Amino acid sequence: MTLEALVGRRLVFGLPGPDLTDEDVRLFRQTQAGGLILYRRNFETPERLARLVDGLEAALGRRLLVATDHEGGRIIMLGRGVTIFPDGLAAGTAGEPTYAHRQGLFEGRELRRLGVDLNFAPVLDVLTERYSPNIGIRSYGKDPELVSRLGAARIQGMQAAGISACAKHFPGKGHAPVDAHLGLPVIDSDWSEMHAMHLPPFLAAMEAGVDAIMTSHPLYPRLDPAPRMPATFSRLIVEEYLRGEVGYRGVIVSDDLEMGAIGELCPIGEATVRTAAAGHDLLLVCHTPERQYEAHRALLEAYQASRLPLRGLEQSAARIDALAAKRVARYDGGPARAERDGEPLAKALATRAATCVAPITPAYRRALNGRVLVIFPRLSELAARITVEDVMQDEARFVREALAPYGVEPDVEIVAVEPDPSEVNRVAAAARAADATVFFLYDAHLYPSNRALLNAIQDAAPALGVVLMRDPWDAEWLRPGVAGMTAYGWRRCQLEAALARLLAPT
């Protein structure tokens, strides 16, 4: 294999749309990139996705390593032909490893039918008391033993179904104070704390035989004291600890090098070279052709100038080839479809996870016999950026059908994901006129406008029940007498499980 081919083998690129273009083929041909990561922007239907992937491979005359982020809950890129499972924190609250294993098994089968080789999941970051703006409900929870058990079970399920799993984000960033997509987090934990809380799930994943591990972008100054040295660039953390001391022999993957955290440190070309030098095998540059070409050029020049060792390049290529060799066919299992038992499992997980975070009083239940108002966010606003289930995009119809089994025919107010003051005033007035209000709160921790909306409704509503859609930590802002439920996410199965607890008579 030529030097150019060895370098390209390590690069994983994203494409801009759902249909193959001449520019897409040119990018992969000129860089010899070996990996393709699929995003929501690439997916309309399974058939259209197949034309994209098959067309690119046919034009190149070679097999690619196809990857995606399919965590469940909020992070699902390919939203048809699959089961929509709840978020990680819901699975963690349900707490059943058998469920996690079956989820992984079903996900693996479904993704292989879509042509995916590598799933960047599960998230093994452990939460702490510190609010996590990015990980949050993506994590299984605060108990490292529970995260370890569920993560290992799901990995074994996925890989038994023929898809490679990837544990993330090593060495653990469940307590990162900043979203690495937007900025550079700093985590002050030392090795002792990391070994006690954050590393055990990754060690359990290795024992379970996980095919790949993804690293993280935060600075860990007490793990590697070199200035401005994120884990992504740290040879001490990646090569010396993960590869050397721990002895991991699978594929090590970078997180997307176009994230804001890396952009604060250096240009993409330098970032790619430093990430390779740290000991990564696969290097992700997911969004911008100019940066993808720059990453390839810088990496190739570094090997041509012997600033990076050829021996390490050959070792990475061998590990990537071994990963790819686990699957000969592009697709397995027939046409794309969700597993028959997937939806019942998702509902079971959501039902076990539904949690009362503030008491549902008899007075509130009596008020539900009168005029009921439901306030619900316009999730269809998000559909261009993240996967929103079809049934949830007609919000008013979803609400009415979800409440119908409880004999409730509500008035419905749909508000923006980030409501403006006029919307806040409008729905507060509607809540004042209702006997009981059900408010679906979309993350007051992240959106100040939703905190303002919550406060206005609490001022106005005679009787109020709140369903926390994203962050269960919003419970701290519920006033005495306000009923509160969460299912740790806003997928259909989760909201229906929360409503069942909020509305069903005792």
pLDDT at 180 over 80: no
The sign of the CA dihedral 382, 383, 388, 392 is positive
The string over 204-213, giving b where at least 16 C-beta atoms fall within 10 Å of a residue's C-beta and e elsewhere, is: bbbebebbbb
The total number of residues shown for the chain amounts to 506
Mean pLDDT of the chain: 96
- Summarize pLDDT for 258-314 with one digit per residue, the tens: 999 899 999 999 999 999 999 999 999 999 999 999 999 999 999 999 999 999 999
Q: Distance of CA 360 to CAs 357, 463, 483, 487, Å? A: 9, 10, 5, 15
Domains of the chain: 3-324 (3.20.20.300), 354-503 (3.40.50.9100)
Q: What percent of the chain has pLDDT over 70?
A: 100
What is the spatial distance between Cα 22 and Cα 28, in angstroms, rounded to a whole number? 10
Bond preceding residue 171 cis, omega within 30 of 0: yes
User: 10 Å Cβ neighbour count for 303?
Assistant: 19
Region label for 121, one of left (φ > 0), alpha (ψ between -120 and 50) or beta (otherwise): beta
Query: For the chain, what is the radius of gyration of the CA atoms?
Result: 23
pLDDT at 451 over 70: yes
Give the active site residue among 179, 181, 195, 435.
181
Residue among 457, 414, 464 at smallest CA distance from 437: 464
> Residue 495: what pLDDT?
97
DSSP bridge pairs for 353: none
- Summarize pLDDT for 208-221 with one digit per residue, the tens: 999 999 999 999 99
pLDDT at 31 over 70: yes
pLDDT at 177 over 90: no
Alpha helices in 368-482 (DSSP H): 395-403, 421-433, 448-460
Q: Are strands 464-468 and 436-441 parallel, antiparallel or unpaired?
A: parallel
Q: Distance of CA 260 to CAs 10, 76, 218, Å? A: 22, 21, 11
Identify the helix (H) or strand (E) that includes residue 465.
strand 464-468
The confidence band for 183, taking pLDDT boundaries of 50, 70 and 90, is confident
Mean pLDDT, residues 398-421:
96
- Summarize pLDDT for 63-78 with one digit per residue, the tens: 999 999 999 999 999 9
> Residue 179: what pLDDT?
78
Cα angle: 282, vertex 290, 213; to 5 degrees: 15
DSSP letter (8 states) at residue 196: I
The confidence band for 131, taking pLDDT boundaries of 50, 70 and 90, is confident
How many Cα neighbours within 13 Å face the side chain of 482? 25
The confidence band for 463, taking pLDDT boundaries of 50, 70 and 90, is very high
Is 255 one of the catalytic residues? yes
What is the spatial distance between Cα 99 and Cα 493, in angstroms, rounded to a whole number? 15
Is 181 one of the catalytic residues? yes
pLDDT at 256 over 70: yes
The string over 382-416, giving b where at least 16 C-beta atoms fall within 10 Å of a residue's C-beta and e elsewhere, is: bbeeebbbeebeebeebbbebbeeeebebbbbbbe
The confidence band for 506, taking pLDDT boundaries of 50, 70 and 90, is low
> Residue 134: what pLDDT?
87
pLDDT at 130 over 90: no
The answer to whether 276 and 314 are in contact (CB under 8 A) is: no
What is the spatial distance between Cα 491 and Cα 87, in angstroms, rounded to a whole number? 8
**How many angstroms separate the first and last alpha carbons of the chain?**
68
Mean pLDDT, residues 309-322:
96
The answer to whether 257 and 283 are in contact (CB under 8 A) is: yes
pLDDT at 181 over 90: no
Give the active site residue among 255, 281, 443, 474.
255
> Residue 173: what pLDDT?
96
| 3-class SS of residue 462 | coil
Contacts of 242 (CB under 8 A, 6+ apart): 170, 171, 213, 215, 248, 252, 279
User: 10 Å Cβ neighbour count for 185?
Assistant: 22
